[in-house]
Structure 1
Amino acid sequence: MRTVRPIRPTSPARRTCVMRHRAHPDSRSNLAVRWRGPESLTVEQVPFPSREPDEVVVKVESAGVCGTDVSAWRGDVARIDDGTVIGHEFGGTIVEVGDGVDRWDVGQRVAIDPNDVCDRCDSCRTGSLGFCTQRRLMGIDLDGGMREYVAVKSQRLVPVGANTDPLALALVEPVAVAVRACARAGVVPGTHVGVIGGGSIGTACVLHARDLGVRSLTVVESDPARRAIAAAHDVAAIAPGERPSSPWDSVIDTVGTSTTIGSSLGLVRAGGTVCVVGVAHDGSLPFAEKIVRDEITVTGSFCYSRRDLHEAADLVSRVELSTFAVDVVHGLADVPTVFASLANGIRGPGKAVVVP
């Protein structure tokens, strides 16, 4: 575990030095975590990024570990190649700007949209990045952000506040998932909302729903430590099997098993909405009669739009997230051990975040 210190924007003198060095082969350190086959990660030096005219180079301040990363570590994601740098939840400070970039400056702090999409199809034009048939995800299909420096196309940058907690930059992407899920679930001011699961996405849904001004908010979570964290932040928390005093208007299921979806249908009011954002792939969903008879809307939520990303960045810039959603901070050298622990169910109540 290491101490996290705020990362200051690059000074004008340093900017000149950085740009001058780009004319020659760059020997600056760029440690990265690379996938080397099922259950194998290595920490290696990789070349300092050579930016294109439409790219910037970002000094990574923090990178999150999510379930997709752990699935890739296990070898369950067939499209990841040997040597791929992992990580798609990250952000940092711009240290270099390409000649064709005019909206961004050295020293600006940003989160990264990890989706490489065509920007031409109907899905891209309507903002549904997850449905682009050409979509490639950093950390899986392309090298990701669990490294010291990364080159990113300027159109995939999301601005964050200058004083945002460095750890919160790793939370912008999962919070964007929550922004979309809350919208799909019909979460609006004055409603009663339940969230199934108190992990990273569940916590992000709680934070966004509370920010929207819901009337009541409850987390259903089996882990007593996670329930205690929620209660400490004035969020009601119950164990699976417990029931609220009255049904909820919206339920967001971040777990996605047949059991939790069935529970969600029993916790939502007639005419309410259940949004499933987690997928557990554990079998059939034998709930058709309940859905039809009570006219319950069951919807899914996948990925996010660029608008969702910007809303998420605004939220993490305004709300103290790290004490609620982050419990362990690791250096790059710790990452292989962290993944093995997470895959074996050894985890803290919050999100594991890496600080290169």
Structure 2
Amino acid sequence: MNGMMKAAVFEKPETMVIREIPIPECEPDGVLIKVEACGICGGDVRNFYQGLRADVGSQIMGHEIVGTVVEAGPDAKDFAVGDRVALAPDVSCGECVYCKRGWVNLCAEHKMLGTHFPGGFAQYIAISGYIIEHGFIEHIPDTLSFDDAVMAEPASSVIACQNRNNVQPGDTVVIIGDGPIGCIHIEVARAKGAAKIIMVGLTRLEQAKEFHPDVLLDSAAVNPVEEVLKLTDGVGADIIICANPVTSTQEQAVEMAKKRGIIVLFGGVPKSNPMTSLNSNLIHYNELTVTGAFSYPSCGLRDALSYLNEKKITASKYTNVIVPLDKICDGIMLSKQGKALKAVVKPWME
């Protein structure tokens, strides 16, 4: 497809410029996608202020993408013009020791749309056959709107985390962190039958109320450990998910866990201060499991689309800020300030 398109091009920290650039070419084994919407991720916010990883300079960011295939190469597999699709960022190599075991999210040569490849803060994105094979592109169910499907990528890691840690009916689940990811954890835990869902929040408590945790604790007003122990008759929670970038909450999580409980370090912490201090006696004597959770397996995006299509996750509760491309910096700033639970860019919006 010939012609020009609008794109938000990251040039350096705190500088993103709207440019008219050529529509990317559709490769013989690839597809060209008209971007209908692209969510602004917490990682996008961090990268906007700190710079892209892997020493990447100028780039089109954005990786929570939904759109329509408008061109398909003659050798493209599985996708055709008119298909409605969702994309996620990770592109694995398929050859490393981790990929060979099916752990594509842990790929040693892991690359991402929006960092190593142009992303979705543009009117079009070209996806090569290599990315189709090694990355994430899924058909959106006919009954699911683009506005709802744009939540699939952030939901993917949440669902994968709770699947791997076997959240099940009867569990008491504590979620620490009241951002959009923490709220998705509420909905997924409920879908899995958790008996009691406790949210520990700080800055977005009013927004978190909309997702109806059984108990909402303000960590500035109460001691979360004491409150969780009271709410569980001194036994503690089955699983505690630290969905925020604060190491002190990881320490609290160990203190509020049931014997043989699971503590999930879901949110990455600042690289400048990644060390934490956990009570090893509690881990030892209570046979606790402390584990990490990062990204999702090859079925992750498909699983999330199913959850959204079945209304287990109510996408409309998250996307409370929608901006056109030329207002993308406003969306990033509102996300950073916590005023946007989830900001979405619509590249064709005036």
TM-score using structure 1 length: 0.85
The alignment-based identity, stated in percent, is 24
1:85 corresponds to: 60
**Is 1:353 the equivalent of 2:344?**
yes
Q: 1:42 aligns with which of 3, 12, 17?
A: 17
When residues 77 and 102 of structure 1 are mapped into structure 2, their CA distance, relative to the original with a 3 A threshold, is: closer
Do 2:9 and 2:17's aligned partners in 1 also have CA atoms closer than 8 Å?
yes
1:238 corresponds to: 217
Aligned-partner Cα distance in 2 for 1:354–1:51: 23
1:184-333 → structure 2 map (5 Å cutoff) = 184-222=164-202, 223-231=204-212, 235-240=214-219, 241-242=223-224, 243-244=227-228, 245-246=231-232, 247-281=236-270, 282-287=273-278, 288-319=280-311, 321-333=314-326
Deviations 1:15-56 (CA, angstroms, capped at 9, x unpaired)? xxxxxxx4xxx11x4211111111100111221121112211
Aligned-partner Cα distance in 1 for 2:88–2:53: 22
Single out whichever of 171-180 and 320-329 deviates more from structure 2: 320-329
1:165 corresponds to: 145
**Is 1:95 the equivalent of 2:88?**
no
Tell me the amino acid that sits aligned with residue 100 of structure 1.
D
Partner secondary structure for residue 106 of structure 1: coil
Aligned-partner Cα distance in 1 for 2:318–2:63: 17
Partner secondary structure for residue 30 of structure 1: strand
Do 2:186 and 2:211's aligned partners in 1 also have CA atoms closer than 8 Å?
no
Deviations 1:80-136 (CA, angstroms, capped at 9, x unpaired)? 533300011111121111111242222221111322221223322333223212211
When residues 82 and 34 of structure 1 are mapped into structure 2, their CA distance, relative to the original with a 3 A threshold, is: same
Partner secondary structure for residue 147 of structure 2: helix
Superposed displacement of residue 200, structure 1 = 2.2
When residues 132 and 227 of structure 1 are mapped into structure 2, their CA distance, relative to the original with a 3 A threshold, is: closer
1:19 corresponds to: none
Single out whichever of 158-167 and 34-43 deviates more from structure 2: 158-167
Stretches of structure 1 lacking an aligned partner (at least 5 in a row):
1-21
Do 1:93 and 1:108's aligned partners in 2 also have CA atoms closer than 8 Å?
yes
Aligned-partner Cα distance in 2 for 1:138–1:301: 20
Do 2:148 and 2:316's aligned partners in 1 also have CA atoms closer than 8 Å?
no
Aligned-partner Cα distance in 1 for 2:59–2:52: 12
Alignment coverage as a number of residue pairs: 327
Stretches of structure 2 lacking an aligned partner (at least 5 in a row):
none
Do 2:178 and 2:205's aligned partners in 1 also have CA atoms closer than 8 Å?
no
Do 1:185 and 1:251's aligned partners in 2 also have CA atoms closer than 8 Å?
no
The two structures, once aligned, show a CA RMSD in angstroms of: 2.0
Partner secondary structure for residue 34 of structure 2: strand
1:11 corresponds to: none
Tell me the amino acid that sits aligned with residue 324 of structure 1.
K
Higher strand share: 2
Partner secondary structure for residue 306 of structure 1: coil
Partner secondary structure for residue 305 of structure 1: coil
When residues 148 and 278 of structure 1 are mapped into structure 2, their CA distance, relative to the original with a 3 A threshold, is: same
Tell me the amino acid that sits aligned with residue 211 of structure 2.
A
Superposed displacement of residue 204, structure 1 = 2.1
When residues 63 and 182 of structure 1 are mapped into structure 2, their CA distance, relative to the original with a 3 A threshold, is: same
Partner secondary structure for residue 150 of structure 2: helix
1:116 corresponds to: 91
Single out whichever of 204-213 and 291-300 deviates more from structure 2: 204-213
Superposed displacement of residue 76, structure 1 = 4.4
Superposed displacement of residue 77, structure 1 = 3.6
Do 1:251 and 1:264's aligned partners in 2 also have CA atoms closer than 8 Å?
yes
Partner secondary structure for residue 59 of structure 2: coil
Do 1:55 and 1:101's aligned partners in 2 also have CA atoms closer than 8 Å?
yes
